[in-house]
Structure formats: structure tokens, C-alpha cells
Chains A and B, each alone.
Chain A
Amino acid sequence: MTLNAQASVPDTASDSQGMAIVARTQGQMVRRRFFRHRAALAGMILFGFVIILAFSSIGFAGIPGWWGKNYLDTGALTNQGRPTLSLIPEFLGGTGLHLGEHPFGQDDIGIDYFALTMRGAQQSITIAFVVGIVATFFGTIVGAVAGYFRGRLEAVLMRLTDVMITIPVLIIAAVVGRMMGDSGALVLGLFLGLVTWPTLSRLVRGEFLSLREKEFVEAARAIGTPPRRIIFRHILPNTIGVIIVSATLGIASAVLLESALSFLGLGIKPPDTSLGQLISEYRSAMVVRPWLFWWPGMFIIVIALSINFIGDGLRDAFDPRQTRVRA
């Protein structure tokens, strides 16, 4: 704090010695710490690449993509549907770097597997984000209201949270998936979000419980600030770190949740597809046509891993205490 205050007055003496202290806002500090976290940065680049690849290649919502095939057209099987992707350069005995006709191969009715996988990735990413946004929204509201107002309202809301937490996520999600699997990714994501908020609401409530006793909140209350303003302008910005980190990790687990549901046949239904459903469909093809099993699996792992790394980087950026510990 004192450093920032000093730095706002330009100090020519220390400047000339090359010891200028640059003032940084909280946001700038967080951003700096985040971009110094190598794994998080790599995760972000990787995730960005996957998003662009998935959405631009086969197009989305009626906009055509640059990849000529789509995930519904069947075709003749070439070379038993083997992948044509080659990454081994010619001087190493390979066939050179090229994509070929079907880089990821074809499934058993000749659909281009690259297009299928991209469609699956689109669905998984869409659902994960919708789940993340909906769950974060509800979790924050419930946690904030319960933590700030306390009393009977808190008791009711927290008992509700207890009830939701007693039910394993996969179980309630499976029931919801059975209900909403036919209605497409957006609706499924929305309803999955409606059952996955309790973890966050507990965290937010905990933060609110400690922050509401702080002096600045008391001061705000003393000058007659309405509760809504205290919650949103005074307390919530202080909990933003917890919320963002938890939301990110929530998105990563939503990717896995959705794929598990689709694997069980309780998520996205054919003819539309998702990564989990692709794996479920071709799990017995593991021995003879392993690519049908590997590609969607790799994409799930890459998506989940990169989001997890981003979340870890955000956690360190918002709460640098742990990283500084040196035994």
C-alpha cells in the first residue's frame, strides 16, 4: 500500500538510479502473476487453439467452416477408414507432413472422423461454458444472500445446499441428462448448471461471512448504503478471486461430467454427437480401429487439462500466498 502511494508521486532521484517503482492496480498485479505462470499460459494458448479449431473448422450455427466435410455426411470408406494424418517427415522414413483426405480417419459408415471429433469438441465446450456460467451465477447469488443476510434465509438456503450436496453430482446430472439430453447442448448445459451450483455457493458464503464483519462493510452500512449495493459493490469484488477460480475449475469438471453422461447414454443423443458419446460408441473398436477411441479421448484430456492449468494459474495469481512458501 505504502509503495503504491509513494509511487504515484514521480520520484526523480530514484528514477535516475534506475530504481523507479511502478504503481500497479490489483488487476494489473493479478494479470502479471497470471502471465508469468508458464503452465497457465500454455494452457490458455492450447485451449484457445482448440476452441478456434473446433468452431472454425466445420462451422457453427449455420456459418460454414473451412473444413470441406461435415459430421453427418457418410461416404465411401477408404483404406478401412485409417487416419491419413502424417506427422513423420520424409527424411525419417515417413510420408511427410500432410493432413490427407481424412486426417483422423473415418467411422464405420464413412463419416469423416475429424469433423465428428470437432463437432464433439464444440458440444463439450459449449456445455461446459453454459454449465460454468449458470452454476457460477446461482452459486454466487445464493452464497452472497445467505452469507450477507444470515438468519432464517441463510438457514433455508444452506439446508437446500446441503440437500443438493448429499446427492452425488453424477447421479443428479444423470437424471437431468435423461430429461434434457434430447433438447441440445444449450438446454442440457443450462439444466446441468442448475444442479452443480452448491459447491460454489458454500465457498462464496464462507467469504461473505468473514467479509461482512470487516470495518469497510460496517462503514458502508453506517452511512445507509442499501444491502444490494453493499453486496455487489463492496463485498463481491473482494470475493472475485474465489469465484473466478472456482468457476474455471467448475468448467473443467463440467467437460468431464458431460462426457461421462454421454458415455452412459444419458447426455447428447445421436445423430448429434459429443466426445463422450464417440468414445462410448467405439469402445469395443479399441483393438481393431484404435483411432476411433483415441482422438475423442485426447481432445477431452487436452480441453480439461488446459482449463485446469488456467484455473491453477488464476488461483496463484489471485492468492499468491501458497506459491511464495519455500520450506
Chain B
Amino acid sequence: MIVFIARRLVISFFVLLAATFIIFVLTALSGDPLEDLRQDNSPNKDLKIADRVDRMQLDVPIPIRYLGWLGRLVRGELGVNRDGQDVAPLLGHALSATLQLVLVATVMAIIVGIVIGIVSSLRQYSGFDYSVTFAAFICFSLPIFWIAVMLKQYMAIEFNNWLKDPGIPPTVIGVLALLGGLIFGALTAGDRRRRLIAFAVGAAITGALFTLLSVTHWFADPGFGLPLIVAISAAAAVGFTVLSAGLRQRGPLYAALGATLVGALASQVLGPLLANPTWLEILGFALVTVAICVGLGYGLGGIQRRQAITASVLTGLFTGALIFVDRMLQAFNSYSQAVRGRPISTIGARTPNFVGDFWQTNLDSAGHLLLPSMALILVSLATYTRYSRASMLEVMNQDYVRTARAKGLPERSVVVKHAFRNGLIPVTTLMAFDFAGVIGGAVVTENVFGWQGMGNLFIKGLKEVDPAPVMAFFIVTGTAIVVFNMIADILYAYLDPRIRLS
């Protein structure tokens, strides 16, 4: 394994090196770096030109310039842009914003995409499957900048206007209920009668939920409250147990419900600690949660100890996330007032000069991240859905799945244990491939939402025929892509024992 990683690292290093050369040369050749100065009418025009020629070494052949850049990079310098600014601090500001955006979008797209893909493959040729397939095709064909502009208009500007008086008109509730019913109905297998019942139940639940939200003006001052947290978390506990262990043995279920209980207690007891925590403390809480849940699973799991640990750890982390979101939502009202009632932002990565506690600052970045990452997710979500659907379908049709069914295993074990892991294998290769696409998408989204991120650095540098910022952009993104590729390869080997890395 180590030999494999080392070899991959060496190869990746040379690949990356060659790629930097290509980008450097193409950028330097892409236009006239003195274009703006040639049209300049100021008396010291010649001086300015000579200055820039000297700074950008325009009198030196391009390959030599590349070597100079490489030499500085080895010493840890990223060079200066054409105005003489050091690129490193510019990159530093841009980096965190973009990485946040790209990582959030990728992780969300992977999780949601795989779940939708698997569900749609298990319900092949159902209404849900057809809708998902059609939606995926639409998403494939959507220009990301178009979607981004649309989101900006409808999800931000109009949503913020609506938040001033967040009541939902009855017709909208009707439509939402209809949609909820359709989703429920399409997800249910069985004859028409069962599907109709599912449709009615789904529509009723959705309609009641949104009526309640509308009447209580929930959106003006959102939050879950303890009863709702316990209810959702208990439902999640049952769900995770069903997925990981099934309900035949009671042990795992008790462990998972125990995690729910501990989480609920903790949210009340730890209240003061959560008033204004740091990220480090949050991480500490997460670790403690995992430790407690492992203990719960170990103690209560009985014969299915491993599955019980999985179920209770997942439940614990989920409950923790729920409490986290609840805290953030509680800060919503005060935050919304602080930004004059426009919580969903359309410009930049954070509100300039905004000072607030932990929850408010997080809410601030979440409000800024929401739309750009939605635009990014929509595009790669479709890819993940299609791939995981196709690969699940292929796996579910294999002989060993039939054997597993013939042995009398419950459908849950067949899907989760036998099919799921193998179905994921092709998706891992997609991960690396898609990441490059997300970075490209991030360049476009940043442009629409006015983020001062990496994409902006790249586009500005490219338009000015200035290799230094372009290369700084590429060094970061190229390395990220290479690392992602490697993670995908290692994951591949872990998931597929037939492939032994050598």
C-alpha cells in the first residue's frame, strides 16, 4: 500500500509539473500583456511599459520565464502579479472561500446523489425513477451560470422579500402537498391501492406541516425545540438501525435509541457551553459523542455488536448535527435583523465588517454559501445519481445477489451488505473526475456571485495575460485534483478486494 501511494505520488508530481508548464506557456501566449498600456495616453507611457516589461520579464523567452517561476516556487514564492502585488496573500484570502464552496458542494452532491441514485435503482421503472432520470437529464443540460443567475433572482432576492412576511398562501400549500404526495406515492412499491394510500398520507403530512409552519410564522424565527429534536433523532435511530442491523435483534435498536437519549440530555445540560463555542470545542463534542456511542453500541449490541456500534455512532452524530442546526436556527432572527432582513446573500463570501457570536458568523457564511453551492450541487448531483443508479442496477442483477436472495437473506442485507458496497466501486472513480468539473463550475459560480475567490484570481489573471496568479490558482487546484484522484484510488482498492495495489 505504502509503495503504491509513494509511486502514485511520484508520478502525480511529474504529471502536475508537466501540466504547470502547459498552463504557463499557454497563458503567456494567450494575448498581449501590454494591451492596456498601449492605449494609455499618459505622458509616462513608455516608462510604464518598460517597468512592466522588466517586472514580468517580457524580454525573456517564455520557457526561461517558466524556469524562473519554477525556481521561485521551489523557494516557496508565488511571484508577483503584473502590478507588483505579491500573489501569496491574494491567494490566501481566495483559498479558504473557494475550498469551502467546493468541498461543501462535492460532499453534498456525493451523499445526496448516491442516495437518490440507489433509491431510484431499487424502484426501477417507477414514477420516482422516471422523474429522477428526467431531472438528471435536465441538470446535465443546464448551463451553470444560467442556474446561478436564476437562483440569485428567485432564491435570494424574492425569498428575502418573502421573509418579511413569511406566510404561505393556501394555493402554494396545496401544490406543496401535492408534490409531497407524489413523492410518497412514487416511492411506494406495490399495487395501485397502496400507492394511492401513500399518496394521500404524504399529501396530508406535507400539507399539515406547511400549514403549521405558515401559521406559526416559523420562517421568521425558526428552530426545532427539544421535542422535535428527540422525535427526529428517534426516527433517525430507527432508520439507521434498519439500515445497519435490521430490527430482528433488539440490541442495536436500544443502542441507537440510547444515543438519541444521551444527545437530548446533552443538549439541555450543555446549554451554557454551547452559547458561544469554538470550532475546536465542537470537534471535541463530536469526538466525545463518538466515544459514548461506541460504548453504547458495545454494551447494548449483544450478538450484533458491530452493527450496533455503527447504528449508534451514526445516530449520535446525526443528533449532534441536529442540535448544531437548531442552535444556528435560533440565532437566525437576531442575525436577520443584523443584516437588515436579507439573510440569503448574493454577493461575496461573508458580510463585510460583520461581527457576531459563533452561531451568527456561521449563519453568515452559510447564508453566503447556500446559493453558489446549490448551483454547483445541481450540476454534479445529476452525474452521481446517474452513475450510482446504473452501477446499482448492474450489481443487483449479478448472480451473487440472486444467490444471497436465494439463501433467504432479508432484502435489507442483500441491498446494504451485498450490493451497496460493490455498487459504490465505479462511483469512486467518478469522484476524482467530477472534482475537476466542480472546480471549473466554481470559477463560473464565483463570477456570478461576486466571490473574491480563486476563480476570480484566475479569470482576472488570464484576462491580464499575467501568469503568476493563474499559476497560483492552478498549483492549488491541480494539487487538490491529484490528491482527490489518489483518495479515489485508495478507496477503490479498499472497496474492491480483487484489486490489490502493487
Contacts and interface: CB of A to CB of B under 8 A. Distances in A.
Contacts of A170: 437, 439-441, 443-444
Interface stretch (A212-220, A232-240, A260-268): A260-268
B459 A304 contact: no
How many chain A residues sit at the interface, stated as a range, is: 35 or more
Contacts of B149: 279, 283, 286, 293
A153 interface: no
A325 B393 contact: yes
B397 interface: yes
Contact of A301 (B142, B447, B477): B142
A279 B29 CA distance: 28
A308 B393 contact: no
Of the candidates B16, B143, B149, B470, the one having the most CB atoms from chain A within 10 angstroms of its own CB is B143
A325 B390 CA distance: 10
Nearest to B448: A283
Contacts of A167: 19, 22-23, 436, 474, 478
Contacts of B26: 172, 175-176, 179
A58 B19 CA distance: 42
Interface string B1-39: 000000000010011101100110011011100000000
B186 interface: no
A291 to B, nearest CB: 14
Contact of B447 (A168, A264, A308): A264
A322 to B, nearest CB: 7
B444 A263 contact: yes
B400 interface: no
B141 A305 contact: yes
A166 B22 CA distance: 11
Contacts of A259: 143, 145
A280 B145 CA distance: 9
B303 to A, nearest CB: 31
A159 interface: yes
Contact of A168 (B397, B439, B482): B439
A252 interface: yes
Contact of B394 (A172, A308, A325): A325
B484 to A, nearest CB: 11
Contacts of A264: 443-444, 447, 459
B387 interface: no
B19 to A, nearest CB: 5
A171 B477 contact: yes
Of the candidates B26, B31, B124, B441, the one having the most CB atoms from chain A within 10 angstroms of its own CB is B26
Contacts of B458: 171, 174
A174 B16 contact: no
B23 A172 contact: yes
Interface in A247-277: 252, 256, 259-260, 263-266, 276
B451 to A, nearest CB: 14
Contacts of B122: 327
Interface residues of B, number: 54
Contacts of A178: 30-31, 462-463, 465
Of the candidates B16, B23, B440, B443, the one having the most CB atoms from chain A within 10 angstroms of its own CB is B440
A327 B393 contact: yes
B463 A265 contact: yes
Contacts of B66: none
Contacts of A283: 145, 149, 448
A169 interface: yes
Contacts of A168: 436-437, 439-440, 477, 481
Interface in B374-397: 390, 393-394, 396-397
A179 B31 contact: yes
B15 A312 contact: no
A178 B462 CA distance: 7
A164 B482 CA distance: 12
Dominant SS at the B interface? Answer: helix
Contact of B459 (A166, A174, A312): A174
B143 A300 contact: yes
Nearest to B477: A168
B160 to A, nearest CB: 14
Nearest to B28: A175
B162 interface: no
A261 to B, nearest CB: 9
A300 B153 contact: no
B146 interface: yes
B462 A266 contact: yes
Contacts of A65: none
Given A172-B26, A297-B143, A300-B146, A309 B137 contact: yes
Interface in B140-156: 140-146, 149, 153
A88 B459 CA distance: 44
Contact of A276 (B22, B143, B437): B143
Nearest to B393: A325
B138 interface: yes
B253 to A, nearest CB: 29
A260 B149 CA distance: 13
Nearest to B148: A283
Contact of A305 (B137, B440, B459): B137
Contacts of A159: 14-15, 18
Contacts of A305: 137-138, 140-141
Contacts of B143: 256, 259-260, 263, 276, 279, 297, 300-301, 304
Nearest to A297: B146
B31 A308 contact: no
Nearest to A249: B140
A1 to B, nearest CB: 23
Given A168-B439, A169-B437, A171-B440, A179 B30 contact: yes
A162 interface: yes
A163 interface: yes
A304 B444 contact: no
B462 A174 contact: yes
B322 to A, nearest CB: 34
Contacts of A228: none
Interface of B: 11, 14-16, 18-19, 22-23, 26-27, 29-31, 121-122, 124-125, 137-138, 140-146, 149, 153, 390, 393-394, 396-397, 436-437, 439-441, 443-444, 447-448, 458-459, 462-463, 465, 470, 473-474, 477-478, 481-482
The 4 closest A-B pairs by CB, nearest first: A170-B440, A304-B141, A305-B141, A178-B30
7 contacts: A167-B22, A168-B437, A171-B474, A172-B26, A174-B459, A260-B444, A300-B146
Given A264-B447, A301-B138, 9 more contacts: A159-B14, A162-B15, A166-B478, A166-B481, A168-B436, A168-B439, A170-B441, A287-B153, A327-B397
